[in-house]
Chain A
Amino acid sequence: MTSVRTSVAAAIASLLLILIVLELIRGRRLKERYALLWLVTGVVLFVLSAWRDGLNTIAGWLGVSTYPPAILFAIATLFIIIVLLHYSTVLSQLDDQNTLLAQRVALLEERLRAQEEKTDAD
């Protein structure tokens, strides 16, 4: 069985996560687009912390009879992996875009310099 203390601590921790994410959005330090996964993580963890029977049931399904809170760890880990994978794809896209921008700027600079030389020569 999950002890009440564990449940309360886990519920507070997940609530904190939700509040921090919301405050980051409000302060424009986090975009909604990248916050949704964190919010889902926070909500799922909060629900499983507060809903003790649910946690025990899921633990039973997964064959974890000795220590149900381990399921909280497992689910938290799963979500963190999803968030990280998501960020890796975002990072890859930013990488491509950054290269493209650098190339555009370099080509524009070259074109501008050629233009200036032509103007000077006239």
Chain B
Amino acid sequence: MRAGRIVAIVPAFNEAGAIGGVVDAIRAADPAYDVVVIDDGSSDETGAIARSRGAAVVTLPYNVGIGGTVQTGFKYALEHGYETAVRLDGDGQHDPGELGKLLGPIHRDEADIVTGSRFIDGSGEYRPPLARRIGIVWFARIVSLLIRQQVTDTTSGFQALNRKGIALFAGDYPNDYPEVEAMVLVFKHRLRLVEVPVTMRGRETGQSSITFVRSIYYVFKVTLALFMAMVRRYAVPQEEVRHP
């Protein structure tokens, strides 16, 4: 067990331009964070830069997609015995200075998983394009209905988790747009989910990996996955993990 240490999981795919600043900012925010960058088969210097700034780097042999990448981070956290994890994106849109807000409900034992929301009132600086906004509202409505709890930002990758949350996601984590479906997983496993307001910056470099046609496909796919997740039985044996 790593008492008092918090692991900061940073999934990154071709973020050579931003990753160095992200790692530095996390370490500057609080020295208690151990940063692990999960490099999703980048073809640029993402991994090398992260390592040079003092982060642990797990390099996937090929691109596995965002869900598998983030889950690798949760497995890392579980295997290394961390009690608490935070997760933020490698493109610099999440401000490590706000991690304290996310960790509040975890430290007070009010939640197992905390997500930072851009859309809780008072934090409305972020104005996504129309198509994106429709998707955001659609998923917020459906997920809120399914899990019987008001959520506003279902695609936020800015999160904090306790050991229960880490273990759940290490054993079972969805693939594309994983955060949306993960909220249903959290509900079905009777863990506590809390949203806190955060502000997010625009992307520093690179571009969002989602094009318009793909986004229509994802809306259908994720909606189907949401309903399937609701009717699925969860006698799924949790993966046994040795604790070195």
Contacts and interface: CB of A to CB of B under 8 A. Distances in A.
Interface of A: 22, 25-26, 28, 31-33, 35-36, 39, 96-97, 100-101, 104
A33 B176 contact: yes
Given A31-B175, A32-B225, A26 B232 contact: yes
A84 to B, nearest CB: 19
8 shortest interchain CB distances as A-B pairs: A32-B225, A104-B61, A25-B228, A32-B221, A32-B224, A100-B61, A97-B62, A26-B232
Interface of B: 61-62, 175-176, 217, 220-221, 224-225, 228, 231-232, 236
Contacts of B236: 28
A36 B220 contact: yes
Given A25-B228, A100-B61, 17 more contacts: A26-B232, A28-B232, A32-B224, A32-B225, A32-B228, A33-B175, A33-B176, A33-B221, A35-B224, A36-B217, A36-B220, A36-B221, A39-B224, A96-B62, A97-B62, A100-B62, A101-B61
Most B C-beta atoms less than 10 A away, residue of A33, A36, A96, A100: A33
- By DSSP majority rule, is chain A's interface helix, strand, loop, or mixed? helix
Contacts of B231: 26
B131 to A, nearest CB: 19
28 contacts: A22-B228, A25-B224, A25-B228, A26-B228, A26-B231, A26-B232, A28-B232, A28-B236, A31-B175, A32-B221, A32-B224, A32-B228, A33-B175, A33-B176, A33-B221, A35-B224, A36-B217, A36-B220, A36-B221, A36-B224, A39-B224, A96-B62, A97-B61, A97-B62, A100-B61, A100-B62, A101-B61, A104-B61
Contacts of B232: 26, 28
A68 to B, nearest CB: 30
